Amino acid sequence: MVKLAEYSRTATFAWSHGKIPSLVTGTASGTVDANFSSESSLELWSLLSADASKPDASLAVDAKFNDLDWSQDNKILAGALDNGAVELFSNPKDSLKFEASFRSHSKSAKTVRFNAKQCNILASSGTQGEIFIWDLNTCLKNPDYKPLTPGSSMNSIDEITSLAWNQCLAHVFASAGSSAYASIWDLKAKKEVIHLSYSSPETGLKSQLSVVEWHPKNSTRVATATGSDTDPLILVWDLRNANTPLQTLSKGHSKGILSLDWCSEDENLLLSSGRDNTIVLWNPESGEELTQYPTRGNWCFKTKFAPDAPDLFASASFDNKIQVQTLQNLVTTLDQEQSVTKQQESETDFWNHVSQEESDVKPTVLRMQAPSWYENKSPAAHWAFGGKLVCITANGLGVSITKPKLPGLEDNALLDE
């Protein structure tokens, strides 16, 4: 699919988990939309619905969203609201239902993230270093539930805009925000255990590490990104040597990076997006830039793979647009024919519909790398005439042609060479 869907909303979003994912959006805080309305709503969109302009379900919410996340069992949605509330919703039979609200963050709730291993554990963060850990099994039953805090931090941390649970260990998570540090927390040790900071070789200054995401399978590997516009870098660390990054992904973005997503199905794919309005696909292992997606009308503040359909990813930008597109969107002969007819268009025709023209700029592929879910390592057995069977050998580099003995079908001497 080229561009699967486009929703005209300035909103954060969360993917559901499943083969045919749906998307939930929450009106983004800190923006004034076209008609200056201050309403905020949570909306549910399904990719297969015929009319992409109307959500399947909508629920009014009393404050705007800074973040949204959906639990792995698709049962609970968590929202971080700019009035400091962490709100929980459910979606019985494709509708949206309010479940609970906790005004626990003093100023504004910045981000929420479900634990990768236990879907009843949720982390939320706010300003002044506030991080809360929620247990949904109890908080849904007790309106004056008080969330836990992860313990003491090494030094004062200001606003925390990025949280990420370790994908292998349920008790480890990372946080990052406006300070020059990214922190690694251990809930068992009840404190911040590792502190990541990076001084850029050019300026010698500590660069701001404001986004953090974990490797999908390796528990000691984590990626951070710099949100500031001066040398926006993505760094890949191995925590066993926390003072120098393993890999640097540079020159992909010209402005600060606002969002990262490490593909859960293929650790060699990482998405980033930011203030230069562009989305980039990287191979974080080799540091190579794979694809640059068409630039958007404004900052692209969130980009996420669909967890169980990673050929798709969604990205939200402040130009009132959430786009769902596929990793690949190659130039086809149909596009070439269209651009030929377009060049022969009269000038008046061209200027008449230039504004409504759906700009189908295609992504630039810098290096063609097939995601791991395409690599089908198997014997790929193929029958041929004369009862021959062609198989690829176990190491995948050779081929064997055999004639299997089939019980009940004795060899026919005439047939055999």
Q: Which is nearer to other proteins, 350 or 383 (CB)?
A: 383
**Shortest distance, position 140 Cβ to other proteins, whole Å:** 29
**Shortest distance, position 144 Cβ to other proteins, whole Å:** 42
State the Cα–Cα distance between residues 416 and 411, nearest whole angstrom.
8
State the Cα–Cα distance between residues 192 and 138, nearest whole angstrom.
25
Q: Is 296 helix (H, G, I), strand (E, B) or coil?
A: coil
Residue whose C-alpha is closest to residue 86's, from 46, 55, 44, 130: 130
Q: Which is nearer to other proteins, 241 or 402 (CB)?
A: 402
The angle formed by the CA atoms of residues 411, 415 and 417, to the nearest 5 degrees, is 105
User: How far is CA 64 from its chain centroid?
Assistant: 21
Q: Which is nearer to other proteins, 130 or 261 (CB)?
A: 261
Residues making contact with other proteins (CB under 8 A): 1-2, 19-20, 47-48, 309, 311-312, 326-334, 368, 370, 374-394, 396-409, 417
CB 240 within 8 A of CB 225: no
CB 163 within 8 A of CB 193: no
In eight-state DSSP terms, residue 297 is: S
**Shortest distance, position 196 Cβ to other proteins, whole Å:** 35
State the Cα–Cα distance between residues 392 and 386, nearest whole angstrom.
19
Q: Which is nearer to other proteins, 209 or 271 (CB)?
A: 271
State the Cα–Cα distance between residues 388 and 158, nearest whole angstrom.
69
Q: Which is nearer to other proteins, 218 or 328 (CB)?
A: 328
**Shortest distance, position 332 Cβ to other proteins, whole Å:** 5
Q: Which is nearer to other proteins, 34 or 397 (CB)?
A: 397
**Shortest distance, position 177 Cβ to other proteins, whole Å:** 35
**Shortest distance, position 403 Cβ to other proteins, whole Å:** 6
* H helix or E strand, kind and range, residue 244: none
CB 167 within 8 A of CB 137: no
Longest CA–CA separation in the chain, Å = 87
Q: Which is nearer to other proteins, 353 or 377 (CB)?
A: 377
**Shortest distance, position 4 Cβ to other proteins, whole Å:** 8
